[in-house]
Amino acid sequence: MFTSLRFLNGNSLFYLCIFLLALWHSGASFEVSNRPVTEDCLECLCEAMSGCNATEICVNGACGIFRITWGYWIEAGQLTLSNDTTLNEEAFTNCVNEPRCAADTVQSYMYKHGQDCNGDDLINCLDYGSLHKMGNLKCRAEVPNSFGSVFYKCLKLKEKQEKMKKPILTHI
């Protein structure tokens, strides 16, 4: 699925595969039923935020492959692992460092705060990228190039891959 992601090195690809496998196998105690963010968009958020590197648990208060902060986790509804509770002091780090719970946290945050950040009258992955990186109050601001260059490149590659999957119709 990701063999054509040329900007990913071998380690990033490995971590992305681990992330996707963990998403499939594990579960959070709170099931997010409304999932506005596509898998492709989640993958690009992960790549832009951390290179999908799950080995760095927390960096400057931002944790997991999506680099989720405590405030973001609170606003998303304080999701926890099935064996955890929000009363546990480590519930935040336990959730956001586990790929499925972290992805569910992103989904919950976007469901709650989804808005048209770029003014194109749509709410889509471009908006979710701005929301995730800048927060719901500043999502109309320009994202930092360090995030945007990776995020937009990933989205364009996903779009190209999607177009290649569609059959070409010809008239005879």
Residue type (1 letter), 128: Y
- The whole-number pLDDT of residue 169 equals 66
| Strand 58-59 versus strand 62-63 pairing type | antiparallel
Chain segment 22-53, per-residue pLDDT in tens: 443 334 444 556 899 999 999 999 999 999 99
Give the residue from 34, 36, 49 showing the smallest Cα distance to 124.
Answer: 36
Residue in the block written with tokens 């594990």: 26
Higher-confidence residue: 169 or 4? Answer: 169
- Could you tell me where the beta strands, DSSP code E, fall in 25-117? 58-59, 62-63
pTM of the full predicted structure?
A: 0.78
- The first and second tokens of residue 1, run together, are 């699925």
CATH of domain 10-161: 1.10.530.10
171 exposure class (CB count in 10 Å sphere: 0-12, 13-18, 19+): exposed
> For the ranges 55-59, 99-103, 124-128, which has the lowest average pLDDT?
55-59
Mean residue pLDDT across the chain:
85
Q: How far apart are CA 2 and CA 20, in angstroms?
A: 11
- The whole-number pLDDT of residue 29 equals 45
Q: What mean pLDDT comes out for the span 100-119?
A: 97
Chain segment 51-68, per-residue pLDDT in tens: 999 888 899 999 999 999
DSSP 1-18: --TT-TT--HHHHHHHHH
Q: How far apart are CA 70 and CA 117, in angstroms?
A: 22
Residue spans of the domains in the chain: they are 10-161
Q: Quick count: other Cβ atoms within 10 Å of Cβ 41?
A: 23
Given pLDDT bands bounded at 50, 70 and 90, which one contains residue 163? confident
Contact call for residues 116 and 122 (beta carbons, < 8 A): yes
Q: How far apart are CA 87 and CA 20, in angstroms?
A: 28
